[in-house]
A and B are shown apart, each in its own frame.
Chain A
C-alpha cells in the first residue's frame, strides 16, 4: 500500500514466480501520487461530529419554534438562590472559584457562564461576591461576565472590578491564598465551578470547616469524590455543562441540552448493540466472525 506521498511519480513493479522458481515481472507506467485531502482514519470521528451537531442544532431550532423541553431538577443548581440568600442574611461574602485553568479550557468557560448567573443573583440580593482567579485572562473574562450580570440586574453601580482579581498561576500558591481568604473572611457560600486538581479537597474541606454552603461542579472525574464528600451539592460531569441551560431556561440552551441527550441515547444504543452482538457471537461459537464484527464496531467509533 502507498500512502502519504506528496507529488512524486510512483510506478509499481510486479513480480510473479511459479513453484519451480521461474518468474515474470513488469512495471506499470509512472503515475503522479497525490496527497490525500482528508486526514485518514478520522471519517468515523467526522461522522459523529456531524451527527451530534445536527442533533444539537435541530433541537435548538425546535426550541426556538416553541417546543418546550423539560429538564429534571438538579439540587445543586436549585440551591444557588438559597446559598446567596443565606450569605446576604449573614452579611458575609459569596466566594466563586472558576477552576484553576485558563480560557482555552471549556470547563473554565462553563464556570464563567455559571458565574454570570450567580453574579446576577448576588446583584439582585445586593450581596458581595469575590472571585479570586489563577489566570490573568480568566480575570479579564470574569470581570466582563460579572459586570454584565450587575448591569442585567439593574445595579451597575454596585459592580467593582476588584471583585474579580488575579492571585497566581501556581496551583498551591493559589490554594494557600484562597484557603487563607476563607478562614479570614468566612464566606457563607462557596462555589467551585471549573477544572480542579489536588486543591479540590483542600478548598472544600476548608469551606466545610467554616460552615459555608458549598456547591461544586466539575468534569474532572478524579476530583468528583472529594467534592461529593466535602460539599453540600456537586454537579457531576455533564450536569455541570447543563447548568447554564438549567439556570437560564432559555430555549436555545434547553434545545442544546435536548440535542446532547439525543446524542447520548445514540451512543448508548451503539454500545448496547456492540455488547449484544459480541456476546451472542461469543456464545454462538464460530457462527459469527468476531474479529470482523469487532473491527466494524471499532471503525464505527473511530478506533
Chain B
C-alpha cells in the first residue's frame, strides 16, 4: 500500500484529533497570554452597531433569545455584547424567548452583562424578563397585534399590566428595535416573515437586528438591509460587533481596563482561525490524493491499452 493510499484511507479519528488540537491549543495559549487578533468590522456588523447606536436614550428594545445551550458557544457572545450595548445606550430592555430551554440564559445574560455594568437598574422599570411562550411563529403573529395576549405575565408570574415599563406596549410596533439572537426554528427568518414583512410600506417600519449561527447566515443575507437592518453572522460577526461595542465602553470609561469577559467573541477567533486553516489544509491534501490517484489510474489504463 503506497503512502497516498494510506493517506486516502486514513482513520477519521486522526482528523478528529487534529481538529481537537487546532481548537484546543489556541484556547490554552490565549487563556495564558490574553492575546487576540485585531478585528476589521464588516458591513453587516457595522450596520448592526450603527442601528443600535442611533437609538435614543430610553428606547424600548425587545430582545428575543431564540437559542439553546447547545448553540450558546456561538451565540452567547453576541447576546452578551448586545446586552452591554443596550446598557450603554440606557435602553429599556424587554427580554423574551420562544425556545423553552433559553429561559435560564436570559437570567444569566441580564445578571452577567446588564446588571454588573449598571447595578442601579430597576426590574420592571428599566428591564424585564418576560420568559418563554410556546407557539413558535403563532406567538409572533399574536404579539404583532397584541403583545400582552401572548405574554400576560413575566417570567416571575407578575401580570404584565402591573409592570411599569409595559405601559404603552401594544404590539411589536411599540418597540423602537427588535433584537433576535437565533439558532434555528423559530428564529430570525420567522421574525422577518411574520413580524417585519407585514409592516413594510405601512407607516413606521419595524427595525430588526439579528445575531445568527454561521450555517444559517447565507439564508438570511437576502433580507439585509430591507427587512433586517443589521446582522451578526457567526462568531466572526460577534467578534466584530464586540470590538465596536468595547470601543464605546472604553470611550465612556477612560483609563478603565476591560475585563476578559468583554472579549469572549474576539478570543474565539483564534481557534476559529486554526480550525479554518486545518480545513484548508485537509482539502488541499484530499485534492492532492485525488489528482495523484487519477493520474495513476490514467497512466495504468494507458499502459494496459499499449500492452
Contact = CB atoms under 8 A, between A and B. Distances in A.
A contacts B directly in the complex (CB < 8 Å)?
Answer: yes
Interface stretch (B28-36, B80-88, B213-221, B251-259): B213-221
A267 B172 CA distance: 31
Q: Which of B185, B215, B218 has the most CB of A within 10 A?
A: B215
A41 B216 contact: no
Interface in A93-142: 101
B202 A222 contact: no
Contacts of A222: 215-216, 218-219
A211 interface: no
A209 B218 contact: no
Contacts of A13: none
Nearest to A295: B201
Contacts of B71: 198
A195 B185 contact: yes
B184 A198 contact: yes
B218 to A, nearest CB: 7
Given A209-B12, A221-B219, A222-B219, A197 B184 contact: yes
Interface of B is mostly: loop
Contacts of A298: 201
A197 B185 contact: yes
Interface in B179-224: 183-185, 198, 200-202, 213, 215-216, 218-219
Contacts, number: 30
Given A198-B184, A209-B12, A303 B218 contact: no
A40 interface: yes
Nearest to B213: A198
Contacts of B70: 171-172, 198
B201 A101 contact: no
B202 A40 contact: yes
Nearest to A170: B101
Interface in A196-241: 197-198, 209, 221-223
Chain A interface residue bracket vs B: 10 to 19
A131 to B, nearest CB: 21
Contacts of B219: 221-222
Contacts of B184: 171, 197-198
Nearest to B12: A209
Interface string A149-182: 0000000000000000000000110000000000
A198 B215 contact: yes
A303 B185 contact: no
Nearest to B137: A104
A222 B183 CA distance: 12
Q: Which of A101, A195, A197, A223 has the most CB of B within 10 A?
A: A197
B216 A303 contact: no
Interface in B42-87: 68, 70-71
Contacts of A101: 185
B282 to A, nearest CB: 13
Interface string B109-122: 00000000000000
A222 B68 CA distance: 18
B196 to A, nearest CB: 12
A41 B185 contact: no
B201 A303 contact: yes
Interface in A222-266: 222-223
Contacts of A195: 185
Nearest to B201: A41
Interface of B: 12, 68, 70-71, 183-185, 198, 200-202, 213, 215-216, 218-219
The 7 closest A-B pairs by CB, nearest first: A197-B184, A222-B216, A222-B219, A222-B215, A221-B219, A172-B70, A41-B202
6 contacts: A195-B185, A198-B213, A222-B218, A222-B219, A298-B201, A303-B200
Given A41-B201, A171-B70, A221-B219, 7 more contacts: A41-B198, A171-B184, A197-B183, A198-B71, A198-B213, A198-B215, A222-B218
